[in-house]
């Protein structure tokens, strides 16, 4: 059996371009792209997914040489597509990190902090608790499998070429900054109002009976009430995650020119 050099180069090019898009998404997305997952594991995961998906992918353009400027532009475009899709899933999770920081500051629980496994930065424990909970929900609804399916189907709707995403697509991804903060505020508003009522009660008690010196015990009492509020509002997490995840899936579908699939 004889394989020509052109045939081998075409196969390497088609594999490299598909691998660039899939690996870029897996290196960024929630759970799989976390810093707690070794880079080598992520790399082998991306190689395996690309190898399994390659036979079902449409043929790559044959008018672009592997070792050329056009091939470099194609690789960069595929990386941008994968990073954009993976970043949207990160924004979904970061919504609850921001909400956890807001709640932690309002409930006097912000002094307890730990390293964020996703970003490597220090954030309140409340935010990390929500990260772990939302990550489990993400894996529980097979979010990682849905994203892999979408990125593979995107080779049909967004073929490999030197032209990638449009400026409008990047605008949709950037628009998630406002969606993220809006959703975080909506999620934490109940805890903020509850703690406001607690602090208002402290003020009324101090005014009615100054000898009790309520404010000297206010810090510890606020922490106890804060834990109670966290326990009460815990049932709202799946509801808010579902809303954010559906918005994230919708944005991914719009960026990839895919008809939206319900998770």
How many other CB atoms are found less than 10 A from the CB of residue 170?
A: 14
d(CA 206, CA 80): 58
Tell me the torsion sign for CA atoms 102, 106, 111, 113: negative
Q: What is the mean pLDDT of residues 191-204?
A: 79
Mean pLDDT value across residues 175-189 = 89
Number of Cβ within a 10 Å radius of residue 136? 11
- Give pLDDT tens digits for 82-118: 999 999 999 998 898 888 888 887 776 666 665 555 5
Task: Report the distance separating Cα 48 and Cα 53, nearest Å.
Answer: 9
Q: Work out the average pLDDT over 52-60.
A: 84
Residues 6+ apart with CB under 8 A from 242: none
More confident residue, 210 or 93: 93
Mean predicted lDDT score pLDDT of the chain: 82
pLDDT of 83: 92
Domain range annotation of the chain:
5-255
Neighbouring C-alpha atoms within 13 Å toward the C-beta of 94: 19
Distance (Å, rounded) from C-alpha 67 to C-alpha 146?
33
**Predicted local distance difference test score (pLDDT) of residue 81:** 92
For residues 136, 115, 45 and 47, what is the CA-based torsion angle, rounded to 10 degrees? 140
Residue 263 above 50 pLDDT? no
- pLDDT value at position 262? 45
pLDDT confidence of residue 192: 82
């Amino acid at each position: 059996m004889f394989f020509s050099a052109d045939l081998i180069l075409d196969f390497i090019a088609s594999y490299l371009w598909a691998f660039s898009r899939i690996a870029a998404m897996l290196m960024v997305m929630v759970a799989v792209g976390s810093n707690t997952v070794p880079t080598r594991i992520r790399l082998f995961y991306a190689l395996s997914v690309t190898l399994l998906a390659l036979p079902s992918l449409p043929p790559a353009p044959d008018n672009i040489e592997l070792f050329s400027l056009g091939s470099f532009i194609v690789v960069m475009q595929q990386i941008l597509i994968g990073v954009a899709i993976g970043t949207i899933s990160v924004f979904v999770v970061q919504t609850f990190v921001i909400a956890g920081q807001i709640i932690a500051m309002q409930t006097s629980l912000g002094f307890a902090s730990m390293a964020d496994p996703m970003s490597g930065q220090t954030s309140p424990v409340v935010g990390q608790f929500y990260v772990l909970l939302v990550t489990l929900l993400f894996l529980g609804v097979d979010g990682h499998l849905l994203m892999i399916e979408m990125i593979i189907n995107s080779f049909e709707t967004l073929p490999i070429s030197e032209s990638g995403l449009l400026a409008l697509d990047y605008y949709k991804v950037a628009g998630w900054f406002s969606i993220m903060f809006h959703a975080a505020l909506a999620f934490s508003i109940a805890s903020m109002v509850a703690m406001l009522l607690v602090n208002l009660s402290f003020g009324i008690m101090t005014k009615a009976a100054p000898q009790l010196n309520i404010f000297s015990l206010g810090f510890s009492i606020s922490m106890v009430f804060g834990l109670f509020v966290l326990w009460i509002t815990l049932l709202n997490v799946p509801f808010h995650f579902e809303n954010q995840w559906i918005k994230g899936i919708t944005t991914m579908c719009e960026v990839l020119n895919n008809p939206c699939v319900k998770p």
